[in-house]
Structure 1
Amino acid sequence: MQHVGGQTREQYVEVAPGVRLWTQRRGPAGAPALLLVMGAQASGIGWPEPLVEALAEHHHVIRYDHRDTGRSSHPFDEDPYRVTDLAQDIVAVLDGLGVDRAHLVGLSLGGMLTQLVLADHPERVLSATLLGTCALSETPYVRPDGTSVPVAELPGIAPEVLELWARPVEDHGLEAELDRRVEHWRVLAGGRIPFDADHFRELERRIIEHAGTYAVSTAHGRADDCGMLRTAELARNEVPALVVSAPAEPVFPPPHPQHLAQVIAGARLVEVPGMGHALPPAVLGPLAEAILGHTVGRRAA
């Protein structure tokens, strides 16, 4: 299969005994690697094709399915793991594909996993781009007026998102499941950009086709999330870091992006107008431009 960014290659990588992850690579093999890290319970197919194509014009783009998503192993019920193990999977994917260093782009939980790799394995990271996530730091947020806000007092998840997440997921067939997922995206999108239900329905059809099932896993929500703070490590970061601010973000609303840019040493902040916790067509151009503006020209030493 040929794409604008070059040939697409699929490969499984073993990241732990009996655990293998599906990976896909696109773009010139000699270009700097860029690894896309999705959020909780999200398959790598969730990264929109136009964004992957735009990035693959300049990078060897890698996306993958986390454990318990898509075509990767689903081991949690028999062998529970920690959230930090999902971060180690990033390093294992790079190892398995023979990649020494890569640009990392992480969304939501993927942004937290990217911070963990940034803190624990900076020698593997060319740059980091963080979307729709919160800081793994105890350092207070400093407002523009100089006053500080403890991390615990930063805004929480929007009530409509929490209400949606609290609803039990029941099997009423494929079309009903697609309806549920589209409604989920509508709430996550934040409401500042006209919502394209057809786009997200087609996206979820591709995700389901890729996985071969529309069953929903809750593994990542049940995984042990202890030991994730990296306050000191992020404060002494030396890797180029970009934080994308999404003004319509309902999961980690502003000033979470501003806080994140403060606690990661040297981080830059850029806003994508109208963006929420979703990737609709309207934000893909500005988002690709922001990412490429951060990554193009950065090469491994």
Structure 2
Amino acid sequence: MTGAGPDLFADLPGGPRICHRVEGPEDGAPVLLVAGLGLDLTSWPRRMVEGLLERGSRVIVFDNRDAGRSTRIATPPPSPLHSLLGRARPDSYDLGDMAADTVGLLDHLGIARAHLVGMSMGGMIGQTVAARHPDRVATLTSIFSTTGGRGVGRVAWSTLARMGKRPARTAQESVERHLAMLAHIGSAVFPPDRDEEVAWAARAWERAGGVRSRGGVPRQIGAIHASGDRTGELARITAPTLVIHGDTDRMVHPSGGRATALAVPGARHVEVEGMAHHLAPGVVPRLVGLIADHLVRGARGAGRY
């Protein structure tokens, strides 16, 4: 998991404080990695970051609002019933607000255009940035994400049941919950490194302030629900787009990746056999290769696949 570089902070005008890290040469092509639901900036595998750095990229990772060391939003989280029914509170923020945070971070760093790589909810945020701020996105890579359309990319009922448990109360319980969820949504073909996952979960608990972070995941889920079906908006994306999904995903059904590729004009869709909802060590080299090739195509102005 990502561990290099100090935590930096960007106080966005009228918005949250965003914690981020930057690595690589200042003149390298900026690659902004957007994390998924409840995940912090350290959730990106170190092997993946180093693979991009080795290709000369400038890599930026950050904590979304309500995650890691970024601002916790003061609005109450949706109730479990609201989350189960896919409803958001009237005062919920949405993916557009999280996309504005992303653009605000680029402004803070003085980056005019970046290659966006988002996983899961981060893919949804990246899609929204690309649709609403096309001049800021050189290429888009959407990893195991979806469009918000009804009937596609649905969470398996078995996964929902696990997500509905009360929040962890201790660091040890948080680690155990993470390992149990990973055993469910991970892959037997591309298994996790247990020691790495234990270490990451313990660090993530500490970075998030433990119990203080409990409302973050429900509020982020509320943001997804508040944004609804974004299929029409995705049709406005002009950046060269790569959609990657596994064929055994229980968190975001593979139909979500297929729908995303169909919605974005000219998108390339790669469904990785045996990959689930986890950036496991065994699949990272394939992902780095796909992303690196996509960035080169975008830099050359290939535009479409």
TM-score scaled by structure 1?
0.84
SS in 2 for 1:164: helix
Match of 2:164 in 1: 166
1:280 aligned to 2:280? yes
Alpha-carbon spacing, 1:247–1:16, altered in 2? closer, same or farther (3 Å): same
SS in 1 for 2:181: helix
Higher mean displacement: 110-119 or 268-277: 268-277
How does 1:26-175 map onto structure 2 within 5 Å? 26-57=23-54, 58-77=56-75, 81-136=93-148, 151-154=149-152, 156-171=154-169, 173-175=170-172
How does 1:121-270 map onto structure 2 within 5 Å? 121-136=133-148, 151-154=149-152, 156-171=154-169, 173-213=170-210, 216-222=213-219, 223-224=222-223, 225-270=225-270
1:214 shift after superposition: 6.1
1:212 shift after superposition: 4.7
1:40 shift after superposition: 1.6
Query: Structure 1 stretches of 5 or more lacking a match?
Result: 137-150
1:275 shift after superposition: 1.4
Alpha-carbon spacing, 1:166–1:227, altered in 2? closer, same or farther (3 Å): closer
> CA separation in 2, counterparts of 1:205 and 1:297?
38
Query: Structure 2 stretches of 5 or more lacking a match?
Result: 77-90
- Counterpart among 10, 13, 18 of residue 13 in structure 1: 10
> CA separation in 2, counterparts of 1:95 and 1:233?
23
Residues 245, 272 of structure 2: 8 Å contact kept: yes
1:220 shift after superposition: 4.3
SS in 1 for 2:18: strand
Aligned length: 281
SS in 2 for 1:13: strand
CA RMSD of aligned residues (A): 2.5
Letter in structure 2 aligned against 1:67 = R
Alpha-carbon spacing, 1:8–1:169, altered in 2? closer, same or farther (3 Å): closer
Alpha-carbon spacing, 1:103–1:18, altered in 2? closer, same or farther (3 Å): closer
Residues 21, 60 of structure 2: 8 Å contact kept: yes
Match of 2:82 in 1: none
SS in 2 for 1:296: helix
SS in 2 for 1:271: strand
Report which of the two has the higher share of helix.
2
TM-score scaled by structure 2?
0.83
Alpha-carbon spacing, 1:66–1:271, altered in 2? closer, same or farther (3 Å): same
> CA separation in 2, counterparts of 1:35 and 1:244?
17
Alpha-carbon spacing, 1:19–1:153, altered in 2? closer, same or farther (3 Å): closer
> CA separation in 1, counterparts of 2:35 and 2:153?
23
> CA separation in 1, counterparts of 2:266 and 2:146?
17
Residues 240, 298 of structure 2: 8 Å contact kept: no
Residues 95, 124 of structure 2: 8 Å contact kept: no
Residues 67, 86 of structure 1: 8 Å contact kept: yes
